[in-house]
């Protein structure tokens, strides 16, 4: 029953988040329900040119079947011994707002299992299943109060969870969302974790439940605070240049994206994360002392936001 338990939560989380966005004034989403030939499918909800979001997606999927060859070669011997079947379910979202003062946000929470699952219980071997996920914020302008609130809300969710470890998850996030060729983090981080198995299944589920439910309270205050703020053509241009960086990270470094595309994953689902519009210029540097330069400086070195 464990698979069904996670899947039910993942569906609920998608519903809760989509409803929360609509409740603050976003228009109804467009839904794309798709099947996967080899087993499973998904429910992708999309906004393009919405009230608040220029482009946004909140997706869930449940996929299962034969483990792809690339993943099998990386599995442990014990996992291999369980057979070549897998099961994975997850919720993933990326929201790109119109207003440059509202940060872009990304979150995903997921569960992965190797084995055929016939026994309706999680496999005993710890290599065979795990929870993963996280949430991170990509602002265009520095707002210390916003950043503290986002991190504090996630830290509180971790503190309420037996498997939660905010400090470790924050470090993993800062390390992961980094563009070495720019010497910049993608944003101001958040949490990121993988391979959560200890101490038991229920604790892993509790972790993604607490963190998942923390999403709306961590993010919506920024939407409400900045959505009607006036912005200049220059501020819009800065946002679009930063979206270029977002594209660079996702297409060059993000493991889910690069692995997904190269292993015949569903292209539209994988690239749902990309913004509607991204700009590039040659050697564009913000002038010293500007809010744009301040943002860039903040991305040069991860900071503690909850201390």
Q: Which residues of this chain interact with a second copy, rule CB under 8 A?
A: 30, 32, 44, 46, 48, 55, 57, 180-182, 240, 244, 247-248, 251-252, 258, 261-262, 265, 267-268, 270-272, 274-283
Q: Nearest approach, Cβ of 270 to a second copy (angstroms)?
A: 8
Contact 91, 60 (CB under 8 A): yes
213, burial (CB in 10 Å: exposed 0-12, middle 13-18, buried 19+): middle
Closer residue to a second copy, CB minimum distance, 209 or 269: 269
Q: What is the DSSP-derived secondary structure letter of residue 280?
A: -
Q: Nearest approach, Cβ of 183 to a second copy (angstroms)?
A: 9
Beta-carbon-side half-sphere exposure of residue 12 (alpha carbons within 13 Å): 11
Structure tokens at 239: 């946002």
DSSP for 167-178, written as a single string: HHHHHHHHHHSE
Closer residue to a second copy, CB minimum distance, 46 or 142: 46
Q: Nearest approach, Cβ of 240 to a second copy (angstroms)?
A: 8
Q: Nearest approach, Cβ of 69 to a second copy (angstroms)?
A: 16
Q: Nearest approach, Cβ of 47 to a second copy (angstroms)?
A: 9
Tell me how far apart the alpha carbons of residues 75 and 126 are, in angstroms, rounded to a whole number. Answer: 12
The residues, ordered by sequence, that sit 6+ positions from 168 with a Cβ below 8 Å of its Cβ are 193
Closer residue to a second copy, CB minimum distance, 61 or 146: 61
Closer residue to a second copy, CB minimum distance, 159 or 252: 252
Which residues are bridge partners to 42 per DSSP? 34, 61
Q: Nearest approach, Cβ of 249 to a second copy (angstroms)?
A: 10
Q: Cα-atom radius of gyration of the chain, to the nearest Å?
A: 19
Closer residue to a second copy, CB minimum distance, 115 or 275: 275
Closer residue to a second copy, CB minimum distance, 25 or 281: 281
The residues, ordered by sequence, that sit 6+ positions from 51 with a Cβ below 8 Å of its Cβ are 25, 26, 27
**Which of 59, 148, 71, 155 has the alpha carbon at shortest distance from 109?**
59
Geometric angle at alpha carbon 243, from 155 and 297, rounded to 5°: 60
Contact 246, 278 (CB under 8 A): yes
Q: Nearest approach, Cβ of 277 to a second copy (angstroms)?
A: 6
Closer residue to a second copy, CB minimum distance, 63 or 251: 251
Contact 3, 117 (CB under 8 A): yes
Catalytic residue among 96, 98, 106, 279: 106
Locus of tokens 């590039």: 280
**Which residue spans within 119-242 are E strands per DSSP?**
129-138, 178-179, 184-185, 189-196
98 catalytic per annotation: no
Residues identified as active-site: 106
């Amino acid at each position: 029953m464990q698979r069904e338990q996670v899947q039910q939560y993942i569906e609920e989380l998608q519903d809760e988040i989509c409803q929360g966005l609509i409740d603050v004034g976003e228009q109804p989403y467009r839904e794309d329900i798709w099947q996967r030939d080899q087993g499973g499918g998904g429910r992708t909800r999309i906004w393009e040119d919405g009230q608040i979001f220029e482009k946004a997606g909140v997706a869930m999927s449940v996929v299962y079947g034969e483990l792809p060859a690339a993943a099998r070669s990386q599995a442990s011997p014990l996992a291999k011994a369980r057979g070549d079947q897998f099961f994975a379910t997850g919720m993933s979202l990326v929201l790109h707002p119109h207003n440059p003062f509202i940060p872009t946000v990304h979150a995903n929470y997921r569960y992965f299992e190797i084995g055929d699952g016939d026994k309706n219980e999680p496999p005993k071997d710890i290599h065979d299943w795990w929870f993963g996920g996280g949430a991170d914020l990509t602002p265009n302008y520095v707002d210390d109060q916003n950043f503290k609130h986002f991190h504090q809300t996630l830290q509180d969710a971790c503190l309420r969870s037996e498997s939660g470890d905010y400090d470790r998850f924050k470090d993993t996030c800062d390390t992961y969302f980094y563009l070495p060729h720019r010497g910049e983090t993608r944003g101001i981080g958040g949490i990121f974790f993988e391979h959560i198995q200890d101490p038991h299944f229920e604790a892993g589920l509790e972790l993604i439940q607490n963190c998942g439910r923390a999403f709306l309270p961590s993010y919506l205050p920024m939407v409400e605070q900045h959505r009607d703020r006036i912005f200049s053509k220059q501020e819009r241009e800065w946002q679009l240049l930063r979206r270029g960086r977002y594209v660079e990270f996702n297409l060059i470094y993000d493991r889910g994206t690069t692995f997904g595309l190269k292993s015949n994953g569903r292209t539209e689902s994988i690239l749902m994360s990309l913004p509607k519009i991204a700009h590039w210029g040659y050697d564009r540097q913000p002038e010293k002392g500007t809010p744009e330069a301040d943002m860039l400086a903040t991305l040069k070195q991860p900071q503690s936001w909850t201390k």
